[in-house]
Structure 1
């Protein structure tokens, strides 16, 4: 980030143009500033025509794009995307039925321009889902720490059937070894700094969660977050148990996420 009085910013360009206004040659002022005469000449012409507003940075996008896809075709691409949820390759095939020949890469660029290139940004009706992308955070590190656990199936040595295929020798060998179980990834994330601590543990019992919290506190303290004021968890049994709440201590407020209650319609 440059400060507002740095050279070769709009402020620096204004100062150079004011030197030229005093009668000094453009080539001399440009040489002193270490820039090309043509560059200063461009800025000075904008200074004479628009004043300070002419010295602001401008987009490098061309004024005209004669080869850009017609807006009506782009409307069709967007309509198909929002209603059929297809990717660029399938959309290119659909467009061919309308007599429009377009490469999938061009379809993708159209989707990017229209703001619908990611299905995650669309709801089930095809409308934009993330209109207000506001990130919330507490003002200070340690004000709130999020704790959660993720249950993940173990992967057999050498990979399972997803890699080698069902019925393969590796798949049959993994079946003979029996069920290999799960791993539980306990994670704590500071709300302000997004500093995270994760451990892969054998279960999600209350005693395990309490021990994880003790080690997580040591991790945060080693990184400068010595005081934790609030902890946010879901309503899992390991988080409602006394073992974890005793481990939190009296100075830490324990908050729970609100349980999901589906809305009943008559």
Structure 2
């Protein structure tokens, strides 16, 4: 026998007919699985409406006192259509900031349901859950800035119609999300980035920390000369102003998320809608207007997701009294302009294309100009421990990596100091032009020499011959002069801290070494005599020695010189001047020939 499946209406109809036929209502309700009152309700609906009354009905109430008003739903839909990127939280913020008369602001979930009913909700792809990210935020303004570079703005040449891309150097305060810089530049070079940073420092003061990515404008961490130089101009400005420069991990933009989120608003709201600009001035003016709106009129949900709070309400620059205590350090070729006090609201970003806040300092600059004498500059020891100053290497060792080294440089001597203590003194290879280039890169006028002044009678001289290997003996101590001086008779000027090796005829300074002798040992030296005038190094040519490789090549001043395979492994003497390299070498014949070496 086939099974017949009855519908719900048919089951209810059978129960109603059985009850109307005189059956027991309680037993019939029990067999159907409902309460007897439900069976009585079915009977009443059947007698009034017939079989149609037994079908299911909606449980929705006829009225809802707390239902959203139609006018509110219309307003929400209009705001979403006008601003497609606004979400439920932003729509609620705007309704709180500009409340309409007689309308109640709904909750975020209510607005989400309204957008869904109106077909205005946009499904988003599944992303990494927010809980998996480690969020951080500084407790107050001016504690950390996030700085980055963004493209997407175009400039057009009105004569040719050619369109070229430009960049914008942006910076955001970590606590308040206040945009501290938005500088339009044609090329995001290291100098342009530092100019934008210097303008922000002059306007708002110095933050405690700055976080950036590993771009070559910010650090030489992954650059070609990172292990050698270890510092770029951006790093130097941070270090001299006491700013901790933090770097994100490679390929981790989320670690600089505040400024990246700023780009997430800046790009669709401005960059994607802006037409090409005819000049940097017009582009900067448009960017400044948008940044003014972002800082002062646009609420930021990260500051308070319940009440509208703008970045300018949370941001405070460094007080003027604190800024007056320590000046902002900038390279001598740059100078700052006006600043913002803590009693004033931060102004809109101004265009500095026609009114430069940082200009080249000429001879009449109020900054201290170079006096033409010795200079001082600071460098950070790289991880390799090998530093470079105007083409000359200074080996300090990996143990000193990360330490700040001060160079005291003149055309005569170069002193290397760490923590105020002199660790090395060498003969200077610098010219006046080299010193001028160092000043342009940030060096300043030097103070007194790290060596104590020589009093009358404190310096003495002796003559000694340099043995093979470039060594000599003084007071029972073996002194390394230089291998190039082997076989020569030289004079040695003995000062309390240094030994200066010089040529006896011309008094040309050849080498400088630290003095390991005590005054008692100096007094007992053989051939001691009062010192003459201090020796001076010759300007040019400078003589150095190189050993040719198996291919007959040598390297001098970062320049490879090919001598030919016939001269491989030969010891070559190079005379280096400003415009020429002159070489001579010694060819050693086999010992069996007994012939003297031939110099060429």
Give the TM-score category using the shorter length.
0.3 to 0.5
| TM-score of the superposed pair, with normalisation by structure 2 | 0.19
Higher relative strand content: 2
The structure that is helix-richer by fraction is 1
